[in-house]
Structure 1
Amino acid sequence: MRVQRLVAALVTALLAGCGPATATTRGAAAPAIPAAPEPTYPVGVRQFVVDAGGPRPLPVTVWYPAASPASTGPPSTPTALPSTSTIPPSGPPSTRTAAPGAPGAETGPSVRAGAPVAAGRFPVVIYSHGLRSLPELHAPLTTRWAAAGFVVAAPTFPRTNLRARDFTRADVRNQPADGWRLIRHLVRLDARRGDPLAGHLAVNRIAAAGHSAGGFTTAGMFTSGHPARLRSGIVLAGGGLAGSFAGPVAPLLFVHGSADPIVPESVGRAAYARAVGPAAFLSLRGQGHGEYLIPGNLGFPQVLATTIDFLRWTLYDDRAALRRLPTDARLPGVTTLTSRLPN
């Protein structure tokens, strides 16, 4: 009963009164980007605050593809570093690990604060954390996305982060608008002479992604009339908000543990059923609210590969990644992929 009450309280707080976010930024043309990169990059990280003097200052952590340490030649292969995650699973994490040598299972990319940005223009992923969390707690996933050729911008939401002085669960309904504030800031930043990221952001190729309450936040960004620059979304252990999944149509990927005691899988599947256009649902049998996001745990390589395939397809127009996705998602006895994606 205690778990049921917790689930009911969470879903009610996330869904009640959550109207569509408004966004006035319209899709705009931007220079074309090259084909999806094949090598992996070292990763740089920086932080800034959007609207620092406003009523809702928004600290942002950005991970991005970095130039090699010598700043010459092709991108280097990431240095193998131990990587751990403090994303708190709601139940006992799996004790089984991925097969030795599985891509991305045990090690993460080399990350350097303030490293020079790699040459080129990269699609952007807006990543939203869950309740009582922080962007850095999701670094095992977001840094790997950056190493694959994406700029990942992760806001720290004012009233739902781990250190919030006035934690307010219901403030989730305001977070989709925060996501759009960040997108508008990135559009301006890309044109700001002298900023290290200027000219490196493909601001017409943006995805939204998030875990738990961040997944609901992500869904809330896909409201009627949202700018076409928001091309796709990834909802991890989340569901939909009122007004979610309206046009223009954008592909969506849902990832959920079948034994999630915080946001039941049925909530995620209901959101998947509501999604219009191309969509897929990756279920991890017996897993809870976050085990599959922890490197070394069963299913992590499949989640990593599937999300990268999805981002490469939707943001780089990489059809080969779309064809690989069903195979990369498959781990017999552990993962099940339900798909309405094109062939």
Structure 2
Amino acid sequence: MGVQRLVAALLTALLTGCGPATAATGGAPPGTGRVASSGHAPQRSWPVGVRQLTVDPDGPRPLPVTIWYPAAPACPAGPPGPAGPASPAGTGGPVPTAGAPVAAGRFPVVVYSHGLRSLPELHAPLTTRWAAAGFVVAAPTYPRTNLRAADFTRADVRNQPADGWRLIRHLVRLDARRDDPLAGHLAVDRIAAAGHSAGGFTTAGMFSSGHSARLRSGIVIAGGGLAGSFAGPPAPLLFVHGGADPIVPESVGRAAYARATGPAAFLGLPGQGHGEYLTPGHPGFAQVLATSTDFLRWTLYGDPTARQRLPTDARLPTVTTLTTRSLPH
């Protein structure tokens, strides 16, 4: 079976969840390169705020979005955010505060896509840590593939890359809206897409012919490519995949890695399945977190030292492997 037919079969067969200071402001303008100009990503950690909004609430595909963001230090205590007090607090991660003031500065944006029968908050152990590291993470709840969808439809994954782009356009408008708390805090020329399982396929589908140069990089976790993926301006891509994944075989992720047209890295987790390495405390989580965070620091902040750390970030003998292609030194 060819790779495209295998991917189509997988998308039909997936039945379960795919779910478990001031920021730097430099960077090349859109269209001048796939990695921001040389800079230094913040190494500090922020408290995390969270808010909810809905894109096109009256349209045919309303898109609820959870946004985690760096919050101002010593922000007043507020109610816990939608991740809930047990997640990720029970895993030692940041506890997001609903409506916390946004930290000073402009922060790169990560659009994070959940998998089938999942929700953004189920990925909070990863997304809140990215927010604490200096990124605004916007996670849509896709209308027909989320855990609570009344008309769940696996095939709707093919429509989700367009939803991701709708969200990006909304964030661009929001950043210019003076009365919004996030206005002036979003580095909308430095955006990454990331996602798990069906969300990984969604992420790959956002890198299609003619895509905006705002989209600087991508992280595909336990996923592969959709038809038309990896076209347009080349962008750095990080693939993360378990070697014994029973839902999306590692070979699908490897095939997508081989098709990437720009710099690429493949973080493998031999013997692991569809996403247990996204659980704090599980073998491989620390390496996935460190590698993905430094990948975002490199591609969105333009930090060359973060790129240089990637091999060390990823290395844990018998637990992880790292393959790279065309990464700059």
TM-score scaled by length of structure 2: 0.86
What amino acid is aligned across from residue 227 of structure 1 in structure 2? S
User: How far, CA to CA, are the matches of 1:274 and 1:126 in structure 2?
Assistant: 22
Q: In the alignment, what sits opposite 2:315?
A: 330
User: How far, CA to CA, are the matches of 2:13 and 2:164 in structure 1?
Assistant: 19
**1:10 Cα deviation after fit:** 2.6
Structure 1 ranges of 4+ moved more than 2 A: 6-14, 26-29, 32-35, 81-85
Is the 1:83–1:295 Cα contact (8 Å) retained in structure 2?
no
User: How far, CA to CA, are the matches of 1:84 and 1:118 in structure 2?
Assistant: 23
Cα 1:336–1:105 shift into 2, 3 Å:
farther
The question of 1:42 aligning with 2:28 is answered no
Q: In the alignment, what sits opposite 1:164?
A: 149
**1:11 Cα deviation after fit:** 3.7
Cα deviation, 1:154-181, whole Å, max 9, x if unaligned, reads: 0000000000000000000000000000
**1:42 Cα deviation after fit:** 0.4
Cα 1:33–1:61 shift into 2, 3 Å:
farther
Q: In the alignment, what sits opposite 2:10?
A: 10
Cα 1:267–1:59 shift into 2, 3 Å:
same
* Pairing of 1:196-211 with structure 2 (within 5 A): 196-211=181-196
Cα 1:7–1:240 shift into 2, 3 Å:
closer
Q: In the alignment, what sits opposite 1:99?
A: none
Is the 2:49–2:97 Cα contact (8 Å) retained in structure 1?
yes
Cα 1:227–1:8 shift into 2, 3 Å:
closer
What amino acid is aligned across from residue 139 of structure 2 in structure 1? A
Structure 1, unaligned runs of 5 or more: 1-5, 15-25, 72-80, 86-103
Is the 1:33–1:202 Cα contact (8 Å) retained in structure 2?
no
Q: In the alignment, what sits opposite 1:67?
A: 72
What amino acid is aligned across from residue 280 of structure 1 in structure 2? A
Of 249, 253, 256, the residue aligned with 2:241 is: 256
Cα deviation, 1:186-224, whole Å, max 9, x if unaligned, reads: 000000011000000000000000000000000000001
Of 257, 280, 285, the residue aligned with 1:300 is: 285
Structure 2, unaligned runs of 5 or more: 1-5, 15-28, 77-83
* Pairing of 1:51-130 with structure 2 (within 5 A): 51-70=56-75, 84=87, 106-130=91-115
Cα deviation, 1:281-316, whole Å, max 9, x if unaligned, reads: 000011000100000000000000000010000000
CA RMSD of aligned residues (A): 2.4
User: How far, CA to CA, are the matches of 1:116 and 1:194 in structure 2?
Assistant: 13
User: How far, CA to CA, are the matches of 2:324 and 2:8 in structure 1?
Assistant: 28
What amino acid is aligned across from residue 171 of structure 1 in structure 2? D
Q: In the alignment, what sits opposite 1:20?
A: none
User: How far, CA to CA, are the matches of 1:51 and 1:287 in structure 2?
Assistant: 38
The question of 1:311 aligning with 2:296 is answered yes
Cα 1:263–1:109 shift into 2, 3 Å:
same
Q: In the alignment, what sits opposite 2:176?
A: 191
What amino acid is aligned across from residue 286 of structure 1 in structure 2? G
What amino acid is aligned across from residue 224 of structure 2 in structure 1? G
Is the 1:82–1:108 Cα contact (8 Å) retained in structure 2?
no
User: How far, CA to CA, are the matches of 1:105 and 1:162 in structure 2?
Assistant: 22
